[in-house]
Amino acid sequence: MRGLLPITAKNSGILACETCHKLIVCDTVSEKGATCPRCKRAIHVRKKDSLNRTWALLVAALVLYIPANLFPIMTLISFGRESRETILSGIYQLFLSDQWVIAIVVLLASVFVPIFKIAALAFLVISVQMGLTWRPVFRARLYRFVEWIGRWSMIDIFMISVLIALVKLKALATIEAGPGALAFAAVVILTMYASKTFDPRLMWDRLEGEIDE
């Protein structure tokens, strides 16, 4: 590939619509404020302000990850006794009661996935900013995986929603949501948006720049 510029839509003067994948030759549309003739959506050569937006969302997610783990996500009130549960203590409880499969699923979804997502996206953004040419196919796969796995962190939020609707027998047993759940849901949404604002094509643009020189 060295020495030979790969033919991309961008260097052929073509805009590709993100929604319907239609190709539009740039001469026919002014590049700023162009809309796709087929699906009528605004099109850009690359996602707008991608790296800055991804950074901002990642930092916000990282900050909120702290209260998400410190505050209880729910409280069980049974026979006048209150027991607060955080994300980690909930997983610990599952291990204690020998529910290994479920415990590992929740551990993956609530602890590993958010941390992995934030770390992987930060790495991808930095790799673009530093103009890294290291293993682009691996990085493309990493991005695809991050995009796919992100939603699965919502398991805990749905679990809480089921428990609070089901366990409300007044003094006998009641489960209430805690502020940690709010912070955790925010982390999931922020990281979902962060992976959406990142433009994977930037990784390949840098690669072509390198070959150009």
Q: Which residues bind another protein (CB under 8 A)?
A: 6-10, 12, 14, 16, 18-23, 38-41, 78, 90, 93-94, 97, 99, 102, 105-106, 109, 136-137, 140-141, 143-144, 151-152, 154-169, 172-173, 176-177, 181-182, 185, 189, 192, 196, 200-201, 203-205
Q: Provide Rg for the chain, Cα atoms.
A: 22
Min CB(185)–another protein separation in Å: 6
CB 211 within 8 A of CB 118: no
Q: Which residue lies nearer to another protein by CB, 58 or 200?
A: 200
Q: Indicate the residue among 126 and 162 with the shorter CB distance to another protein.
A: 162
Least distance to another protein, CB of residue 171, Å? 11
Question: Under DSSP, is residue 121 helix (H, G, I), strand (E, B) or coil?
Answer: helix
Provide the minimum distance between the beta carbon of 129 and another protein in the complex, in angstroms, as a whole number.
Answer: 18
SS3 assignment, position 65: helix
Nearest to 197 by CA among 150, 155, 135, 153: 150
Q: Which is nearer to another protein, 62 or 186 (CB)?
A: 186
Q: Output 48 or 168, the one with its CB closest to another protein.
A: 168
Tell me the C-alpha distance between 156 and 135, whole Å.
34
Q: Any idea what DSSP says for residue 42?
A: B
Rounded Cα distance between 133 and 135, Å, is 6
Minimal distance, residue 59 CB to another protein, in Å? 20
Q: How far is the CB of 88 from another protein (least distance, A)?
A: 15
Q: How far is CA 147 from CA 46, 144, 196, in A?
A: 18, 5, 8
